[in-house]
Amino acid sequence: MSEVTYDFSTKKEMLSKLRAYTETPDDDNIRIKEKIKNRLLRSPELLYALHNKELEGELFDSNGNLTPDGEWDRYFGKSSNIRPFLFFPEVQTEVSNYIGYKVDCDSEPKYNDSEKYCEITFVIFVNGDDSIDASTGISRHDLIASILREIFQKSNIFGLECTLTENKEGTTDTRFLTRTLVFQTTLPNNLVRTVNGRTGYINMYR
């Protein structure tokens, strides 16, 4: 039986390897989700539309001026407004609005196995008691969806151009209004591998 070898020898080196998954092109799911996170957290209009009154002080000072050095990352996390997975919020006493998202890369263009289609799905949940944005008069789930459309439609955030292919409204049995947006882009089809911090092309035909 051959001996197993590792590309790290300490816990620090192992964690450095794992953290690199957010940047290396080997795993599109993790890398794209990290790009989405970073882009959403740089959109004060989106964070404002999520209407988390506890965090609004991180966006604007007492005079209404934008505070770019605020703790905007508090909008992201497993119990916050923006989450890197799909979920269904439970009935709750506090008004809360959410964005969950997922990444799927499961098909290839015909006659071209060096590329693959990637779909990015956003699901917006808005509590029925907070359904209208008072400042604009727009339905909150529609407002959030329009901001996402503006950010991603025809953008090159993921490499090649991103196109909105689905925009659907719905409700849940827990009194949330929903809107689902699906964007599609094309990516290289697992052509590279990163070892010890160095990324190289995989020889597909050896």
In a domain, 4, yes or no: no
Q: How far, rounded to the nearest angstrom, does the alpha carbon of residue 40 sit from its chain's CA centroid?
A: 7
Closest CA to 171 of 127, 120, 122: 127
**Best CA proximity match to 182, nearest among 169, 156, 163:** 163
Residue 83's nearest CA partner among 121, 130, 129 is 121
Domain carrying residue 148: 27-189
Determine, yes or no, domain membership for 196. no
Distance, CA of 120 to CA of 113 (rounded, Å) = 20
* CATH assignment at residue 77: 3.30.2000
* Phi-psi group of 142: left, alpha or beta (phi > 0 → left; psi -120 to 50 → alpha; rest → beta): alpha
Rounded average pLDDT per 10-residue block, the chain, 206 residues = 81 88 75 94 97 95 95 94 89 77 79 77 95 96 98 91 96 90 84 52 45
What pLDDT, on a 0 to 100 scale, did the predictor assign at position 44?
97
> Considering the domain boundaries, does residue 205 fall inside one?
no
Residue 8 lies in a domain: no
Under a CB-based contact definition with an 8 Å cutoff, are residues 162 and 154 in contact?
A: yes
Are 103 and 32 in contact by the 8 Å Cβ rule? The answer is: yes
76 domain residue, yes or no:
yes
Single pTM value for the model: 0.84
Interatomic CA distance for residues 116 and 107, integer angstroms? 6
Residue 12: which residues within 8 A CB-CB, separation 6 or more?
Answer: none
- Which helix or strand (DSSP H or E) is residue 30 part of? helix 28-40
59-83 pLDDT tens trace: 999 999 999 999 999 999 988 999 9
Write out the DSSP string of 103-171: EEEEE--TT-TTEEEEEEEEEEEEEGGG-B-TTT-SBHHHHHHHHHHHHHTT--TTSS--EEEEEEEEE
Asked whether residue 197 is assigned to any structural domain, the reply reads no
Tally of domains in the chain: 1
Whether 195 maps to a domain, the answer reads: no
